[in-house]
Structure 1
């Protein structure tokens, strides 16, 4: 099968298209004939091996343990391994796996759900990582309640476009999205009550306070974010792209966790997981018209190295899909 492989950490050019043997499903796994995948910041981090902390977390100290990149996946079940009860060959599924930038990939059944019936494979493939991140950040960590005000910093990105829609679905009374002026109309169309162009206005200047703030892959200071947070509000740090090659955004996260017990504000960070129940819920919301995946561009599998570079440029609106 064709697959995007990587033997050394490095720039996106370290990724290359090769012919390799297809995987075989183990216990609790299904073999998927991949139709589409997508790219998120995690792909860039695993490609470059930065911040270096991720290498110590089990991904490989000197070289990647897994040769094939890609997490988000959508496709058809080709075969099932022992103890698989949820799916059978021919089912159209979506979710996450290790190595979705390939014609075939194995995934645990607990990290899959049936693909939304009203979307194509490309639309489904952009949902799992970013959709679950937005859902869990709002519902589980942010504890969003009906009638609250929400500020989404980074509303134009993959997680942000889902977060704006999910915040309204979960009952937020007022959702403010922070993005570039070029993305403002898109964010309004997704349900934002207000849009702030960060090039013209600082959303953390203290002019307004919010019950819940999602700072998505941002590098704003904790003091600035707290200034825009209500006295009993919750700040959720969803990733972070600042802090250097060694620790990335984890330094800011640790400072938030250490400070939180000494203030009335809840300062939180988290790492999302993908599971069957949340994927099934997201599929139901898409089928009901309550949530729409936003795709910036679709690339063929062979152009994944260029895709990773394009994502890093910050020019993408919503998600980037990969057609396999």
Structure 2
């Protein structure tokens, strides 16, 4: 690990000012990802700004009926908060499907947004990785790529620059819920819809998100629409705990009085560089009753354009079947064991 300087400001403006004045500086809160990256010689910050003393550890109701999650609230406290479990159980379910209890006790909501990929080649500094070192190549394209992306890998050239996946479970649920990220920076405060927060690799795979230099995430806003009756988070992985998703599906449905689907939200994890949604696929469900054939059509639309690279080609069919399973569960109001399935249960 490289040497670094350290500071601990007491307010948001001071933190933003310090990060803006330093070169190669990083914010640190729980540190559950950043410290690993530093130990593996992937990240080399010259200065760390400890934000744990900032007043961002709150969960507040919004006047219009939504909820504001402070950036420094831990994942565990968020998942078990009474209002989150009551009004946004999809988010609680997704958080509890991720990491381990020990990590959830340390990891923060703001930090979760910034998780970096768990691609083997990104962590191995002896291999080529365009995300770690732009222009060096992508070892995963012709290497072992079982956990890698099948959607959103296109670049302006013929060869993808990066096929890494975004690892967060929380962010998949936030994408389904249309959350909004609040940030403060040198140019003031702004909001970023979660759909625009993370980005696809394109020709700049080193950029994970749309945050500008010096900006600090202060909170995450959840809209008033709760989706707290017909929802599920289905996570398929190699073991039942402490494993990243091969494929995950967050489904939130709103039914009308006749039992037909009035609105559908479907977000996928483990398949792309960011949580994946396709409004055209969701629209196929509007005004319809549950039907396995219809659910399969939705799955086909969601996976339109998917491409495997050898070891991960199985993910295409796995994702389609997972979508059908998750839609069945959400429509029935069944969320039990939504995170306990392994890939062999679906294929």
Q: TM-score, normalised by structure 2?
A: 0.26
Which structure has the higher relative contact order (CA within 8 Å, separation 6+)?
A: 1
